[in-house]
Amino acid sequence: MITTTKNPLKNVYSASFFFATSVALAAYINSSFLGQIVGERAVGLIYTFGALLTFVGLMIIPRLIKKLGNTRALLGVLAINLLALFIFASGILGKLNILFFLAFMVTNSLVIFCFDIFVEHFSSKNTEGRARGTYLSIVNLAWVLMPALAGILVASAGYSRAYLVAAVAVILCGLVVITRLRGYSDVNYNRISWRQAWNYVKEHRGILRVVVINFLLQFFYAWMVIYTPIYLHQHIGLSWPTIGIIFTVMLTPFVFLPYTLGKLSDKIGEKKFLITGLICMAMATALLFFIKTPTILIWIATLFTTRLGAATVEVMTDVYFFKHIRDSDPSVISFYRDMYPLAYFIAPLLASVLLIFLPFKALFLILGLIVLSSLFFAVRLKDKI
């Protein structure tokens, strides 16, 4: 565990890694866990409702931070998250687990929001890229490592063991926050409504454009997370162990790219990287429409390329956005993070309608075109170096 106080960002990175470990570990088993309670067809509805509640939660959290401070707000949200994990591990509440899952889903986003405030506070504008890149690399490392561990835990001891390990990770996160971030001095947060945040974003065209790009990136994630496993398993015929290997390799760009690209963006800006990443993302995604073979290497190469682009876009949108706002503007940060639940609400609804008229594989071609539309906004950005 990193415990140095000389560089507070390292403490933020340490706490965020533990929390990401918990979220990533649970993410690979949540849908199956819920499926046992409500049936597979109803799982999507729970996620949709959870996205709506997350949207509301992100509107409320700036007020909570202004009242309690970022550290206390974070610890309160972590406590709710931890309680939900312990309840999942106990397996005693039956359908009431759904209510705690909704709380778990909302608090995941709120904790990430609080970490956004910390990273923004402790990083300077001329090193924003390096700070954000390091943060994303550390968080994404947990996401790459957890699929294998989740599979081992569930196979050996069921869902309870996996949720208990996730709970331990949250406890470690809380310990770092309590011992190393308790002395954090809150700034004078600006308290504005969601409507005022929207007006602020509209007035600052660069921020508006990057918010739209972030929404389309989250839309890409939602669409791919929901429909790629189904397509590979049921339409291409790949086994779940094979799909697990493909996904592990696919996610590696999120570990090795953010730090390097973030550091480079401090010197040459985000725009060029952002445009390159979007083109890479769009073309590789559209290419999935034309692949019919079950050859593993082809799927690894193509999906890896989609994530090369996505990892580039993710770090560049975050760096650009946080270079143009302050940690005293939590409502604007909340608006930016609202794009995640908004995308997870809209993407499955649109895909469900399209599947009435189109074959399953057409979803990837359409998604590629949607991602390509982001270029309209990316080419109009102006770098702030």
- Centroid of chain to Cα 293: 30
Indicate left, alpha or beta for 158 from its phi (over 0: left) and psi (-120 to 50: alpha).
left
Please give the helix or strand (H or E) that residue 373 lies within, else none: none
Candidates 220, 242, 245; CA nearest to 233 is 242
pLDDT digits (tens, 9 = 90+) for 121-148: 888 767 778 888 899 999 999 988 887 7
Mean pLDDT of 174-187: 83
Average pLDDT (263-287) is 92
285 vs 27, residue with greater confidence: 285
Average pLDDT over residues 76-99: 91
Q: How far apart are CA 172 and CA 355, in angstroms?
A: 43
The pLDDT assigned to 2 comes to: 39
**Which residues, in sequence order, are CB contacts of 103 under 8 Å at separation 6+?**
80, 81, 84
How is domain 1-179 classified at the CATH fold level? Answer: Growth Hormone; Chain: A; (1.20.1250)
Domain boundaries, the chain: 1-179, 194-385
Q: What is the pLDDT of residue 283?
A: 97
Report the alpha-carbon distance of residue 224 to residue 285 in Å, rounded.
Answer: 9
Average pLDDT over the chain reads: 86
Residue 173 pLDDT greater than 60, yes or no:
yes
Look at 271 and 3; give whichever has higher pLDDT.
271
- Looking at per-residue confidence, does 282 or 192 come out higher? 282
- 49, pLDDT greater than 70: yes
- For 194-385, the fitting CATH number among 1.20.1250.20, 1.10.357.10, 1.10.10.10, 3.40.50.300 is 1.20.1250.20
The pLDDT value given to residue 87: 94
Residue 168 CB neighbour total at 10 angstroms: 16
Domains 1-179 and 194-385 share a fold: yes
Model confidence band, residue 169 (pLDDT cutoffs 50, 70, 90): very high
**Distance in angstroms (rounded) separating the CA atoms of residues 35 and 46:** 10
pLDDT for res 46: 85
> How far does the chain reach from its first CA to its final CA, in angstroms?
33
Q: Provide the 10 A C-beta neighbour count for residue 250.
A: 24
Tell me what percent of the residues of the chain surpass a pLDDT of 90: 40
pLDDT tens by residue, 310-337: 999 999 998 888 888 776 667 788 788 8
